[in-house]
Structure 1
């Protein structure tokens, strides 16, 4: 027995010496981390993307003990078990001895009727549950969804009602919605593109006129001539504006022409404009294929439309665009500065106490809270540099700031400063791994130090540079706190890219997916409606960061393979 015990002890010691326990611990940690990430992504996908599925709508009688009955039309959102004592302490008189009871969160819509979109009901007291095929769900531009039944449609061609057939009424209603949507697109094109361009040119002329007033070196003749040119351009623009206004008034009349009559489940009839409806569908009458098609279209609208209803409805395209364009500008700014700083510290700076202090400072900057960078960006970039730029280049616009206010440029610069230490450290590590004999061989062949650095060292260090950029993108894309101070807003009226010179407006404020998640999740007046959008937007932000990183990883791998032979 003693010999057997000794052999087991020796075997255990040898197992530890080989380091196998650490291998198993590391493998377990990687497995747990991977499963946690996958679980998070699945949770975000299920909770977020299920929002776009056209859920069936039920009609039921709901009557709690000791209270009057009511008829509900709603779609099921989620269910949970709740303690009976908790409900009784809240004043419910329940006729059951079970310790728990099932309750459901249902979406009843019709916020303009009931005051709220959602309601908790006890499943036990839902009676005569039915799924009528003619139940209609209407997604509106305001007041959320409308749940009810379509009764009649009034158009310029006459009135269509149920007496003429439900199928004919529904087809006419869908045609009217498509017509209204087409007119709405024309209205938006005129308001945002045509009139927006005129307003932009008028503002430029106003600033030009203001510049004439501030320029004291001009003679009266030149001043009058330029003023006449400005007045002529203003008159021409005003004429175009009047034409567009008349066209708009006609379009608005056509847009608001059609009305329809819809009844709630309680029988209350309401006459509404077709122009208030974005889309209408009958989920109970849809086949599985129809629901899949509807799901794809609605998800596409989520990716390409602008937000509505305090960001709880519509799409998130401005936030996607703002996030991507900010990360790209940040990458363009941080990469050259980070590489130059790393090259100086590794290749040119004297390796002494001061260089070590600088490296320590760079490493410490990587751990500074991001909100500190936001405060610095607000004070230095916006209030100091931006104000100086306004004084030098945009004096005619003062006191209204141009660059002396939060905007896309300052948000990108602030994040570039925030991620600069990451790029410096990664590039320095890459430079330190370049074999010394490559440098010496290049110098022996007659190349200067600068030529060696540019043609040999930096190309071989490019994979490390890309690693730093990947880490920088991953951190910058998800930051929210500093952006709240230096350029991100809840709702931006227009994209920073348009058809007006100089076409790319770095001074404009923009939307961001991270701030959109914060705003919808914590500042929304309709929490239940906003919750699935928080999950969907969070998953979309993860996907965008992954795509940006994968692009950088692919480029890094290409560069690594390209220069692998030189390293060998």
Structure 2
């Protein structure tokens, strides 16, 4: 019976099913871990006040309890801690104390045995700042023009109103500085390059000088007007400030123009925390990073990842389809064709960093450098396309994923019945018309399958992008309102590199840890979203041409 069972192949089917199930469980477990750690970052945690007494004396500690661990007694004694009752382990808590400008760090480990009292007072506030991380303490008063306008219990409501007004002013300042002033600087730079180009051609004369001077004068006038508006807004936004008391009893002045958010988590109801949770998530997705990428949002990284993948798809699809059509429909089977197929299959296994080195040498230095010499001599010695940027990153990933599209498209072409080709030719269509109107539409689901696999691989790549265009922090997006609107020469941010930077290059490891999980979750969501979009298109095409296949 056992021999017959093995001969039937059933054990191997069950082994395969078990291996697939284990893999699915592992993947699901990993995604659940990332989701739990990542989504938990946005929940407004309660603030705890500890009365703490150790060898250094009695003190008050205020902050969020973010982790718990067991410290072996031997390590505790080596660190100078007392071990009571010959305990084998000491329970310790990691507390996010914030107030980095006062305490020197955001986090602190405390031992449970030294805690004399623990409470969660409703009047404790959490202040998210643009610099120096969070502040935890108690709100005492609100100042305006250096004078206290309200204090006590009424201070919180007034502080929220003043903060809302300050945030609106900050948005206006941000638009003026980044959009309007940026457009002026961009226009002035284009004028400088045009002038340099005319000088190199020997066409620069007094007429051009007067014309350019008039345009520069117009830009300068706009700039002066914007500076007047900025000065007015800066005076207005700096009028108000908060007076808060930190854990040690020291009064701290917090200017409102440096504050992003003010909350009292301990006083929030469950519904309030859910609303605040949604706001935090939206802010994380739509805001720009701060504090060496350990605070703020990741919108530039999401934008750069999606834009790069779309450009890669636009490039890799036609080249992959053309190569597959040639190999399947036109190339004669022989030594050369076999060598090409082997090369295509081998290219799929080349490490991604090799593609990055190739992209840097070939695309950036050779092609980009020659483009600069031929079309942008006026920009020398500053490179335009002779430096890593969005275009070269997209082309590098397109080259890396090209074998996947070729193989998938060729497999789709091979499954189309020969009778369909013969029927089209019998009706008078040429071979090119048969391919374009009949064969390629029926192979489109396979083409989309190749594109899905290419997107899944390209979106998560980091190593080659570090060489051909991705940076830690990009000052401007590759897409803006300045002509030509899509700037393929600009560097950009990427979710995968952002994870690497925050996880391994951050100066504040504990603060960056939850951002690693949150950003990883966003990267998975972006990849799934792009793939689902492509899968939907593929399924529609498959249903459309299924009748013809039958």
TM-score between the two structures when normalised by the length of structure 2:
0.98
How far apart, CA to CA, are the structure 2 residues paired with 1:62 and 1:508?
52
| Alpha-carbon distance in structure 2 between the residues aligned to 1:119 and 1:265 | 14
How much has 1:158 moved relative to structure 2?
5.3
1:63 pairs, out of 53, 56, 77, with 53
Is 1:179 the counterpart of 2:160 in the alignment? no
Query: For 2:492 and 2:14, how far apart are their aligned partners in 1?
Result: 47
Cross-structure match for 2:211: 229
Whole-Å separation in 1 of the counterparts to 2:41 and 2:341: 49
Q: Distance in 2 between matches of 1:21 and 1:538?
A: 38
- 2:110 maps to 1:124: no
1:552 corresponds in structure 2 to 534
Which residue of structure 2 lines up, in the alignment, with residue 398 of structure 1? 380
Coordinate RMSD, CA, aligned: 1.2
1:46 aligned onto 2:28? no
C-alpha separation in 2, matches of 1:185 and 1:123: 44
Superposition map of 1:65-144 within 5 A: 66-144=55-133
Structure 2: which 5+ residue stretches go unaligned? none
TM-fit CA distance, 1:156? 4.7
Secondary structure in structure 2 of the residue aligned to 1:563: helix
Pair 1:280-2:269 in alignment: no
Indicate whether 1:478 and 2:460 are aligned.
yes
Structure 1 equivalent of residue 177 of structure 2: 191
**Maintained 8 Å contact 2:150/2:158:** no
Equivalent positions of 1:445-484 (< 5 A) are 445-484=427-466
Once residues 73 and 107 of structure 2 are traced to their aligned partners in structure 1, the CA distance between those partners, rounded to angstroms, is 21
CA distance in 2, matches of 1:265, 1:106: 13
Instruction: Measure, in 2, the Cα distance between the counterparts of 1:125 and 1:198.
Output: 60
**TM-score scaled by length of structure 1:** 0.95
Corresponding residue to 2:363 among 381, 388, 394: 381
Aligned residues: 550
1:42, 1:229 → 2: CA distance?
63
In the TM superposition, what are the counterparts of 1:258-407 in structure 2 within 5 Å? 258-407=240-389
Of residues 501-510 and 92-101 in structure 1, the stretch that sits farther from structure 2 once superposed is: 92-101
Q: Match of 1:267, SS?
A: coil
The answer as to 2:478 corresponding to 1:496 is yes
Bigger radius of gyration, 1 or 2?
1
Which of 239, 242, 255 is equivalent to 1:257?
A: 239
Match of 2:225 in 1: 243
Provide the C-alpha distance between the structure 2 equivalents of 1:509 and 1:239, rounded to a whole number of angstroms: 31
Shift of 1:567: 1.3
CA contact (8 A) 2:245 2:252 kept: yes
Equivalent of 1:443, from 400, 409, 425?
A: 425
CA shift at 1:336, angstroms? 0.1
Q: Could you tell me which runs of 5 or more consecutive residues in structure 1 were left unpaired when the two chains were aligned.
A: 1-10
Distance in 2 (CA, whole Å) between partners of 1:83 and 1:333 is: 57
Give yes or no for the alignment of 1:527 onto 2:509: yes
**Matches of 1:52 and 1:249 in 2, distance apart?**
35
